[in-house]
Structure 1
Amino acid sequence: MSSVLDFYKYLHTIPELGHQEFKTAAFLADRLEKYGFQVTRNIGGSTGIVGIYDSKQPGPTLALRADMDALGSMVDGVVAANHTCGHDAHSSMVLAAAKELLETNAIQKGKLKILFQPAEEIGTGALSMIKAGVIDDVDIILGQHVRPYQETPMGKAAGAVYYSASTRIIAKITGLTAHGARPHLGINAIDAATAAITAVNAIHLDPALSYSAKATRFICDTSVTNVIPDEANVTWDLRAEKNSTMKQLCEFVEKAILAGAATVGATASVAIVNPIPAAEFDQTIIDVLKKSIIATLGENGLQPDIFTPGGEDFNFFKQYKPTIQAGFIGLGCDLKPGLHHPAMHFNLDALPTGVAILVHATKQILG
Structure 2
Amino acid sequence: MEQVITKIQQKVMEVYQHIHANPEISWQEQQTTKYIEQQLIALGLAPQLLTPTGLYVDIGVGTPQVGIRVDLDALWQEVDGVFQANHSCGHDGHIAMGIGAAMYVQQQNLQQAIRIIFQPAEEKAQGAKAVVAQGVIDHLQFLFGIHVRPIKELSDGQHAPAIYHGAAKLIQGTITGIETHGARPELGINAIEVGAAIIEGLQKIWADPNVSSSIKVTQFQGGGSSTNIIPGQATFSIDARAQTNEVMEQLMEGLTRVLRGVEAIYQAKIITNVSAEIVAAQVDELATQLLTTAIHTIVGQENCAPSIVSPGGEDFHFYTYECPSLKATMLGLGCAVTPGLHHPNMTFNTERLHEGAQILAEVACLAAMEVES
Q: Report the counterpart of residue 99 of structure 1 in structure 2.
A: 103
User: Which residues in structure 2 correspond to 1:290-329 (within 5 Å)?
Assistant: 290-329=292-331
User: Which residues in structure 2 correspond to 1:199-218 (within 5 Å)?
Assistant: 199-218=201-220
Shift of 1:342: 1.6
Shift of 1:198: 1.6
- What 5-or-longer segments of structure 1 have no aligned partner? none
Match of 1:66, SS?
Answer: strand
State the TM-score, normalized to the length of structure 2.
0.91
Q: Does 1:355 align with 2:357?
A: yes
Q: Does 1:4 align with 2:8?
A: no
Relative to structure 1, the CA distance from residue 226 to residue 150 in structure 2 (aligned partners, 3 Å threshold; closer, same or farther) is same
Match of 2:47, SS?
Answer: strand
Q: Is the 8 A contact 2:90 2:147 kept in 1?
A: yes
Single out whichever of 320-329 and 218-227 deviates more from structure 2.
Answer: 218-227
Q: Is the 8 A contact 1:196 1:258 kept in 2?
A: no
Q: Report the counterpart of residue 155 of structure 1 in structure 2.
A: 157
Shift of 1:263: 4.0
Single out whichever of 125-134 and 278-287 deviates more from structure 2.
Answer: 278-287
What amino acid sits opposite 2:73 in the alignment?
D
What amino acid sits opposite 1:6 in the alignment?
E
Shift of 1:167: 1.4
Q: Does 1:25 align with 2:33?
A: yes
Q: Report the counterpart of residue 128 of structure 2 in structure 1.
A: 126
Q: Is the 8 A contact 1:189 1:232 kept in 2?
A: yes
Shift of 1:262: 4.6
Single out whichever of 340-349 and 174-183 deviates more from structure 2.
Answer: 174-183
Shift of 1:289: 0.5
Shift of 1:261: 5.1
Q: Is the 8 A contact 2:206 2:251 kept in 1?
A: no
Single out whichever of 347-356 and 173-182 deviates more from structure 2.
Answer: 173-182
In 2, Cα distance between the equivalents of 1:46 and 1:223?
A: 44
Shift of 1:182: 3.7
Q: Is the 8 A contact 2:142 2:367 kept in 1?
A: no
Q: Report the counterpart of residue 71 of structure 1 in structure 2.
A: 75
Match of 1:47, SS?
Answer: coil
Match of 2:315, SS?
Answer: coil
Q: Report the counterpart of residue 258 of structure 1 in structure 2.
A: 260
Match of 1:217, SS?
Answer: strand
Q: Is the 8 A contact 2:68 2:115 kept in 1?
A: yes
Aligned length: 361
Which of 337, 343, 352 is equivalent to 1:335? Answer: 337
User: Which residues in structure 2 correspond to 1:140-219 (within 5 Å)?
Assistant: 140-219=142-221
In 1, Cα distance between the equivalents of 2:192 and 2:109?
A: 61
Match of 1:303, SS?
Answer: coil
Which of 88, 94, 113 is equivalent to 1:90? Answer: 94
User: Which residues in structure 2 correspond to 1:33-44 (within 5 Å)?
Assistant: 33-41=41-49, 43=50
Shift of 1:266: 2.6
In 1, Cα distance between the equivalents of 2:80 and 2:150?
A: 27
Single out whichever of 344-353 and 213-222 deviates more from structure 2.
Answer: 213-222
Shift of 1:304: 1.0
What amino acid sits opposite 2:151 in the alignment?
Y
Match of 1:65, SS?
Answer: strand
In 1, Cα distance between the equivalents of 2:209 and 2:234?
A: 31
Shift of 1:123: 0.8
Q: Is the 8 A contact 1:254 1:270 kept in 2?
A: no
Shift of 1:140: 1.1
Match of 1:110, SS?
Answer: coil
Q: Is the 8 A contact 2:212 2:242 kept in 1?
A: yes
Relative to structure 1, the CA distance from residue 36 to residue 225 in structure 2 (aligned partners, 3 Å threshold; closer, same or farther) is farther
Q: Deviations over 1:278-320 (max 9, x none)?
A: 1112211101101111222222211111111211111111122
Identity level (%): 37
Match of 1:304, SS?
Answer: coil
Q: Report the counterpart of residue 6 of structure 2 in structure 1.
A: none
Q: Is the 8 A contact 2:167 2:280 kept in 1?
A: yes
Match of 1:326, SS?
Answer: strand
Shift of 1:274: 3.2
In 1, Cα distance between the equivalents of 2:256 and 2:83?
A: 32
Shift of 1:77: 8.6
Shift of 1:211: 1.3
In 1, Cα distance between the equivalents of 2:170 and 2:319?
A: 20
State the TM-score, normalized to the length of structure 1.
0.92
What amino acid sits opposite 1:289 in the alignment?
L
Relative to structure 1, the CA distance from residue 70 to residue 9 in structure 2 (aligned partners, 3 Å threshold; closer, same or farther) is same
Q: Is the 8 A contact 1:62 1:138 kept in 2?
A: yes
In 2, Cα distance between the equivalents of 1:223 and 1:90?
A: 49
Q: Deviations over 1:323-347 (max 9, x none)?
A: 2211211111111111112222111
In 1, Cα distance between the equivalents of 2:250 and 2:164?
A: 19
- What 5-or-longer segments of structure 2 have no aligned partner? 1-8
Q: Deviations over 1:11-65 (max 9, x none)?
A: 0111111111111111111111221222111x1x310201112324xx8621110
Single out whichever of 221-230 and 337-346 deviates more from structure 2.
Answer: 221-230
In 1, Cα distance between the equivalents of 2:31 and 2:321?
A: 30
